[in-house]
Amino acid sequence: MTYWTNGCEPVTYLLTGDWSTSSVGGVALLLLSRDGMDSKILIVEDEQSIVDMLRKGLEPEGFQVIAAYNGQTGLRAVTEARPDLLILDLTLPELDGFELCRRIRRQPETARLPILVLSGRAEEVDKVVMLELGADDYVTKPFSPKELVARVKTLLRRVSTPALPQVLRVGTLEVDLDRYTVVVAGQPTSLTAKEFELLKALLEARERTLNRSFLLERVWEYGEELEIETRTVDVHIRSLRKKLGCEGARIITVRNVGYRLDTTSPHMNPAP
């Protein structure tokens, strides 16, 4: 067990995991987990019993588990420990889960960190807000540790599938699927992970109209059993259009159905 400290502050979060430590000639060796998962999971949660329960589920599967017990140390752990996935509680001391999520998505180096929200707040409004902030999944307490581990694996599989090194171009819009960058008329524009996935889906559809439930399933990967409001798609499309500037007008609303991307117009007029 390795303790992380910050100057003279008391220990605020700790690093544990499927590690065994042995000492050879005074040199400590860390032997990493056996089944090759090796992914580092950061849990930001102020309830020790929940952290323990998560650890019990994750460690036998070969995950390294790091825990932070308040929002501030959680944010620090995200940038310093570079986890592969974040399990985030919403009600936290110092900095709540909403704000933490917002800040993570704002920083380019952490913007694509998969975030699974684990919260006792089951109200729909929280779910919608979280999805709009760019969380990837949402589990309400009480939860089944088995299901949670399965969701963690699914999320990690999603992000580890390498994208084809490919640049899609329409008009002055350039989308690099490998580097996750978007350029409009020579100017880089920064999209959230969900906005990027939406744009990618629309580009790959080549003029086909995509309905909202397809987009929810494709971008958010939610099946019909989870009633995420399709309004979430509209909110993201609105923001995406704005960020794409003059090229935003390529995203056409198909009334009562969904959206398609106009790839035929050579150039777009600036939005009024």
Q: Site mask, Ca ion, residues 35-74, x = CB under 5 A?
A: -----------x----------------------------
Least CB distance to Ca ion at residue 90 (A): 7
Question: Cα(97)–Cα(256) distance, rounded to whole angstroms?
Answer: 34
The interface with Ca ion within residues 240-259 (CB under 5 A) comprises: none
Beta strands 20-24 and 13-16, pairing class: unpaired
Long-range contacts of 103-108 (CB under 8 A, 24+ apart): 103/75, 104/75, 104/78, 105/133, 105/134, 105/192, 105/193, 107/79, 108/190
Q: Is 119 exposed, middle or buried (0-12, 13-18, 19+ CB in 10 A)?
A: buried
Least CB distance to Ca ion at residue 81 (A): 20
Q: Is 140 one of the binding residues for Ca ion (CB under 5 A)?
A: no
Taking the least distance from each CB to Ca ion, the nearer of 90 and 210 is 90
Least CB distance to Ca ion at residue 98 (A): 12
Taking the least distance from each CB to Ca ion, the nearer of 138 and 196 is 138
Which residue's C-beta sits nearest to Ca ion? Answer: 91
Asked if 270 and 175 touch (Cβ cutoff 8 Å), the reply is no
* Count of positions on this chain that bind Ca ion (CB under 5 A): 3
Least CB distance to Ca ion at residue 86 (A): 15
Taking the least distance from each CB to Ca ion, the nearer of 126 and 195 is 126
Q: Is 89 one of the binding residues for Ca ion (CB under 5 A)?
A: yes
Q: Is 91 one of the binding residues for Ca ion (CB under 5 A)?
A: yes
Q: Two tokens at 128? A: 């919608």
Least CB distance to Ca ion at residue 44 (A): 9
In the three-class reduction of DSSP (H, G, I as helix; E, B as strand; rest coil), residue 24 is classed as: strand
Taking the least distance from each CB to Ca ion, the nearer of 48 and 144 is 48
Asked if 17 and 43 touch (Cβ cutoff 8 Å), the reply is no
Beta bridge partners of 139: 118
Q: Is 217 one of the binding residues for Ca ion (CB under 5 A)?
A: no
Taking the least distance from each CB to Ca ion, the nearer of 16 and 91 is 91
Asked if 98 and 67 touch (Cβ cutoff 8 Å), the reply is no
User: Which DSSP letter does residue 37 get?
Assistant: -
Least CB distance to Ca ion at residue 59 (A): 21
Tokens 């860390």, residue located: 30
Least CB distance to Ca ion at residue 120 (A): 7
Taking the least distance from each CB to Ca ion, the nearer of 94 and 229 is 94
Q: Site residues (CB under 5 A) for Ca ion?
A: 46, 89, 91
